[in-house]
Structure 1
Amino acid sequence: MGERAESRYVKLTKDHGPLEDITPGELNQPIEVPQLAVHKCMECGQPLPESYTPPSDEAWMTGIFGCAEDRENCLTGLFCPCVLFGRNVESLHEETPWTGPCICHAIFIEGGIALATATAIFNGYIDPGTSFLIFEGLFFTWWMCGIYTGQVRQTLQKKYHLENSPCDPCCVHCCMHWCALCQEHREMKGRLFDNAFSEATIVNAPPIQEMKSSDNKENPETSSDNSHKHTGLELQPV
């Protein structure tokens, strides 16, 4: 008979101390299993691949030219577009304060418009070559700002699975920057309002319950009197 295989268990004696200190409850912590953390389809429940992205086919709540639907939003975007852009970024990224994007927008967009206006006014006093370089630099800056603000719009579209309306986000901001800012603000405002309304729970008070005695039930006083009445039976000796 061959030798017995060595046991995997170690026999502890009194001389052995604890190998490691275990905090109570440490072994009951949940374990993340990557194989179980899979995305599933909301309709059929089938697992989806990691590279799956939901289709961006939902329509916007308002059109690109619906600025008049929100008067306050329209006036803010017309006279202070930097403030409106900062609010949009803050609503989209809660960890980012609105002041940073607002200052950047004011420097590059409003500052560029002011420089272009001043260059056009003093066109006769500035060398034509210098004016051409200024306008070329402003055009390049406007294009870069359109790409940046377009990325913010694209992030909004990915968050709510919105379609490109009316075209690519960067092109929308390059051609219709103020209208795009107002549309994005209205979209986030409407989405937040819908989420708050859907998450609200309406609790109705329970109806008032009253205990009423039934008509067929005898009066307790009458029943007690009947129980104390003597029967008409007489006991006679045999």
Structure 2
Amino acid sequence: MYSSNQPDYQKPSAYSTPPPPSSAPPPYAQPPYAPEQYGGPSVGIPVMGSQPGPWSTGLCDCCDDVPNCCITCWCPCITFGQIAGIVDKGSTSCGVSGALYTLIAFVTGVPCVYSCCYRSKMRQQYTLHESPCADCCVHFCCETCALCQEYRELKNRGFDMSIGWEGNVQKQRREMAMAPMPQGGMTRDK
């Protein structure tokens, strides 16, 4: 196939030309698994390299979840504690975060200096737009609406907000364990 007169370094090889471009996305664009295909909640594996996307609900859609809206209006420390517990992936508890929020509210009168940091962290984890304006402005102008929106976003991503991070992890493991195994895989002939 090749003439013997060419030195080895000049012979064409399979590695000398790049493969033709394909329309398939790069491998990092897809999460390693999709929990919802196994019946489990999609608990927010962000897609690496993707552009920020929209929030699942608007800032003023508080009436979409009336019980949470009422709790957030009367006692925002509860909603904030639940959000912080999920966003921190269990490293801080709901009670500790809620108590710190309450302490900051009593001492400074502006708990948004603490809660806006969690909005930023949540946006980064789930690649969400910074909308309708900067996180600190959203929390300063509309603290209860911002907390309600963050709560709804986590709930829409499959989290059960009442059981915290550890409860959600255990729930997902149970659902993954109970998922049916695909049929017709590789078998060993006897």
TM normalised by structure 1 equals 0.47
Q: Which residue in the other structure is 2:128 paired with? A: 162
CA shift, 1:202, in A, is 4.9
Tell me how far apart the structure 2 counterparts of residues 177 and 62 of structure 1 sit (CA, whole Å). Answer: 16
Residue 99 (str. 1) matches residue 99 (str. 2): no
The letter for the 2-side match of 1:80 is: C
CA shift, 1:56, in A, is 4.6
Q: 1:80 aligns with which of 71, 75, 80?
A: 75
Tell me how far apart the structure 2 counterparts of residues 190 and 155 of structure 1 sit (CA, whole Å). Answer: 17
Q: Which residue in the other structure is 2:104 paired with? A: 108
Q: Which runs of 4+ in 1 moved over 4 A?
A: 193-196, 202-205
- Shift of the 76–202 alpha-carbon distance from structure 1 to 2, 3 Å rule, reads farther
8 Å Cα contact 1:146/1:171 also seen in 2: no
Q: Which residue in the other structure is 1:152 paired with? A: 118
**TM alignment of 1:182-197, pairs within 5 A:** 182-193=148-159
**TM alignment of 1:63-78, pairs within 5 A:** 63-78=58-73
Note the residue ranges of structure 2 that are not aligned, 5 or more in a row: 1-23, 29-47, 161-167, 184-190
Q: Which residue in the other structure is 1:201 paired with? A: 179
CA shift, 1:77, in A, is 0.3
Q: Which residue in the other structure is 1:174 paired with? A: 140
| Cα shift readout 1:130-179 (whole Å, capped 9, x = no counterpart) | xxxxxxxx5xx52xx32321110011001110001111111110111000
Q: SS of the counterpart of 2:130?
A: coil
8 Å Cα contact 2:101/2:114 also seen in 1: no
CA shift, 1:43, in A, is 1.8
Q: Which residue in the other structure is 1:44 paired with? A: 26
8 Å Cα contact 1:150/1:169 also seen in 2: yes
8 Å Cα contact 1:85/1:181 also seen in 2: yes
The letter for the 2-side match of 1:170 is: C
Note the residue ranges of structure 1 that are not aligned, 5 or more in a row: 1-41, 47-52, 113-137, 206-238
Q: SS of the counterpart of 1:192?
A: coil
**Greater relative contact order (Cα 8 A, min sep 6): structure 1 or 2?**
2
TM normalised by structure 2 equals 0.58
User: How many percent identity over aligned positions?
Assistant: 30
Tell me how far apart the structure 2 counterparts of residues 75 and 91 of structure 1 sit (CA, whole Å). Answer: 21
Q: SS of the counterpart of 2:158?
A: helix
Q: Which residue in the other structure is 1:54 paired with? A: 49
Compare CA radii of gyration and give the structure with the larger one.
1
